[in-house]
Amino acid sequence: MPPQSSLAKMAGRRCNIHHMAHVAQRLFGTDGIRGKFGTFPITGEFFEKIGRALTVYLRKTTANGKIFIGTDTRTSANLLKNALFGGIGECFEVYDLGVLATPAIAFLTKQCGAICGISITASHNPYTDNGVKIFNGEGQKLPVAEEGHLEDLLFREVDNMPHPARASASIHGNPAEFLNIYRRHWEETFAPNCLKDLSIVFDAANGATATYGSTFLSQLGANVFALGHTPTGTNVNENFGTEHPQTLQRAVVEMGAHLGVALDGDGDRAVLCDRDGKIFASEHILALLAMNFHRQKRLKSNRLVTTIACNTAVDEVLKKHGIDVHRCDVGDRNVSEAMVHMESNLGGEPSGHIICLDFSPSADGLFTAVAFIQAIADGWDFRISSLRDYFPLNPCETLNLPVSTKIPIEKLSDLQSAIAAAENELAQLGTGRILVRYSGTENILRIFVEADTDERAKKLVLHIVNAVEKSYVRVT
């Protein structure tokens, strides 16, 4: 085992443990289907089958209708898109939106009366991966139960779904026309020149917003320095975007810009930094947006929705402002569903997915950036330290530990004991909490500890990591 002094080394190694196959095969994670292109389920053959399953699924409630499909910039996007086209039955009209961010696809699905929206993307993953996100007619990701219905169709022992490739759906639409609809919505949302005199570094991660993100910001009056805006099909998220914020930080300082904005490959996540290159925590973005909405009497039900992974300092500061915080399970779909249930219009999670239902049914990184800039526009010099209502986060430590397979946590006895011991230590202090969960899209175990000091949080994370490795070995 490597020395316990380095969390970074631990995050970089993999627990090479094999485990029996799960009885129930599950495709959908917390953010659609995702994987390496060319291997199951990210193949042309299986995407054609997804198209056929969608046809059967949708025809349970409607005989016809429009389906919107868009992609990010990966080389594999067109092959997968054409495979989906080939599987969807002729009773539906398929509209090709071209390269377009996931939140724009979700918005257009609802705005234009489609019954289903599809984004072919692997979000922040490297170009070698791809996947699919599916939205209902309201522009919201399908509920878990509905994804289960699709999986039942896809994994039936006998494939009796129709094969409509001989009479597949007709292809409609002009991508530029749909982008203009989204552009008009953007212009109607923000006041003209609301970013006047601001210099902004914008990093599109060579992804879906590369063709229009800089233009949108410029139309609001900003002077934009563009990064990651030359997609080749094989460079999405490579050294740019939310996964590599150091590129943004360095550029902001070197160019003397006021601030920086980075998105991920499909445009639903945002990372922002100040003029010194210091990154805003997503918790700060969420809380300051909520305060601004509250001051403007725009925060519906006077409530912010976030996840169990969000730092509890958010709850503490918003309570002082008379704002309630409702927590739900991790995943922007869970946030969206909770927002509807709680009648709130603002929600998000620490990953950078932030949803404002007044603008779109889906998290939109570009909207998040501009709304946040407006929320903090008064009385600051573009440095985090000068922000009104700025607050410290509680000490915490997060580590993402790669694993070869996702053994159910309840079966890992050493891990269970370690978590119980850590929780008991925090309980005696009267503060802190622990979250241990698997990623919904990758073979990663996420370990999060919030404690009274940074040192204690790191110590407890290391304790849990050691227990994970022992547990995996014992199960094997």
pLDDT digits (tens, 9 = 90+) for 282-321: 999 999 999 999 999 999 999 999 999 999 999 999 999 9
Q: Considering the chain, what percentage of its residues have pLDDT values greater than 70? A: 92
Decide: 381 and 374 in contact? Cβ < 8 Å: no
Neighbours of 251 (CB within 10 A): 21
161 shares its domain with 225: no
Query: In 10 A of CB 47, how many CB atoms?
Result: 25
Q: How far apart are CA 92 and CA 71, in angstroms?
A: 19
Contact of 200 with 217, CB cutoff 8 Å:
yes
pLDDT at 163 over 80: no
In the three-class reduction of DSSP (H, G, I as helix; E, B as strand; rest coil), residue 223 is classed as strand
Asked if residue 25 belongs to a domain, the reply is no
Residue 21 has pLDDT above 60, yes or no: no
8 Å CB contact between 84 and 344: no
User: Residues near 316 by Cβ (< 8 Å), separated by ≥ 6?
Assistant: 391
Exposure of 193 in the CB half-sphere (CA atoms within 13 A): 2
Q: What is the pLDDT of residues 258-271, one digit of tens each?
A: 999 999 999 999 99
CATH code, domain carrying 305: 3.40.120.10
306 inside domain: yes
Task: Give pLDDT tens digits for 38-65.
Answer: 999 999 999 999 999 999 999 999 888 9
Q: How many domains are there within the chain?
A: 3
DSSP letters, 281-334, are: PHHHHHHHHHHHHHHTT--GGGEEEEETTS-THHHHHHHHTT-EEEEE-SSHHH
Same-domain check for residues 105 and 237: no
| One domain for residues 145 and 241 | no
Q: By the 8 A CB rule, do 214 and 195 touch?
A: no
How far apart are alpha carbons 341 and 226 in whole angstroms?
Answer: 39
CB 241 within 8 A of CB 251: no
Q: Which of 52, 122, 50, 141 is nearest to 360 (CA)?
A: 141
> Which residues form the domain of 117?
33-177
Q: Do 224 and 359 belong to one domain?
A: yes
Are 302 and 197 found together in one domain? yes
pLDDT at 286: 97
Residue after which a domain boundary falls, among 337, 357, 386: 386
pLDDT at 11: 46
Q: What is the side-by-side strand order in the sheet with 324-328?
A: 324-328, 303-307, 346-348, 354-356
- Which pLDDT band, with edges at 50, 70 and 90, does 404 fall under? confident
- Domain shared by 371 and 414, yes or no: no
Give strand ranges (E) for 406-443. Answer: 433-438
Burial 199-223 (b: 16+ CB within 10 A, else e): bbbbbbbbbbbbbbbbebbebbebe
pLDDT value at 158 more than 80 = no
Output the pLDDT for position 378: 79
Answer whether 285's CB lies under 8 Å from 299's CB. Answer: no
Judgement on whether residues 374 and 405 belong to the same structural domain of the protein: no
Any domain includes 87: yes
The pLDDT tens digits for 57-94 are 999 998 889 999 999 999 999 999 999 999 998 889 99
Same domain, 229 and 111: no
Cβ-based neighbours of 141, under 8 Å, separated by 6 or more: 31, 32, 133, 134, 135, 332, 333, 336, 362
Q: What is the pLDDT of residue 170?
A: 60
Mean pLDDT over each residue of the chain, to the nearest integer: 90
Q: What integer pLDDT is reported at residue 379 of this predicted model? A: 77
Give 475's pLDDT tier (boundaries 50, 70, 90).
Answer: low
In the chain, pLDDT over 90 holds for what percent of residues? 80
C-alpha dihedral, 86 to 33 to 210 to 281, nearest 10°: 170
Residue 442: per-residue pLDDT: 79
Q: Give yes or no for a contact between 162 and 89, defined as CB atoms under 8 angstroms apart.
A: yes
What pLDDT, on the 0 to 100 scale, is given for residue 31?
86
List 76, 123, 360, 471, catalytic entry: 123
Position 474 confidence tier, pLDDT thresholds 50, 70, 90? low
Q: Which of 299, 276, 277 lies closest to 287 in space, CA to CA?
A: 299
Which residues are bridge partners to 412 per DSSP? none
What pLDDT was estimated at residue 165? 53
**Helix (H) and strand (E) counts for the chain?**
14, 17
Based on the fold, state whether residues 225 and 369 are members of the same structural domain: yes
User: Burial of 48 by CB count in 10 Å (0-12 exposed, 13-18 middle, 19+ buried)?
Assistant: buried
Structure tokens at 394: 């509680």
**C-alpha to C-alpha distance for 333 and 363, rounded to whole angstroms:** 10
Name the more confident of 171 and 380: 380
- What's the burial of 389, exposed, middle or buried (CB within 10 Å: 0-12/13-18/19+)? middle
CA angle, 28 then 12 then 396, to 5°: 80
Q: Is 123 a catalytic residue?
A: yes
Is residue 263 domain-shared with residue 374, that is, in the same domain?
A: yes
Q: Residue 274: which residues within 8 A CB-CB, separation 6 or more?
A: 252, 259, 280, 382, 383, 384
pLDDT computed for residue 471 by the predictor: 81
Would 463 be classed as within a structural domain? Answer: yes
Q: CB neighbours of 31 closer than 8 A, spacing ≥ 6?
A: 123, 133, 141, 331, 332, 333, 440, 441
Q: Which strands, in side-by-side order, build the sheet including 433-438?
A: 396-402, 444-450, 433-438
Domain termination site, one of 177, 202, 234: 177
Instruction: Pick the last residue of a domain from 386, 410, 441.
Output: 386
398 and 379 in one domain? no
Residues 376-386 have a mean pLDDT of: 88
326-342 exposure pattern, b = at least 16 Cβ within 10 A, e = fewer: bbbbbbbbbbbbbbeeb
Q: How far apart are CA 94 and CA 114, in angstroms?
A: 9
Confidence of residue 162 (pLDDT cuts 50, 70, 90): confident
Please tell me the distance from the alpha carbon of residue 230 to that of residue 232, in angstroms, as a whole number.
Answer: 6
CATH code, 469? 3.30.310.50
Cα–Cα dist 404/393, whole Å? 33
Do residues 262 and 147 both lie within one domain?
no
Q: Of 118, 111, 59, nearest to 90 (Cα)? A: 59
Strand partners, 446: 400, 437
Q: How confident is the model at residue 8 (pLDDT cuts 50, 70, 90)?
A: very low
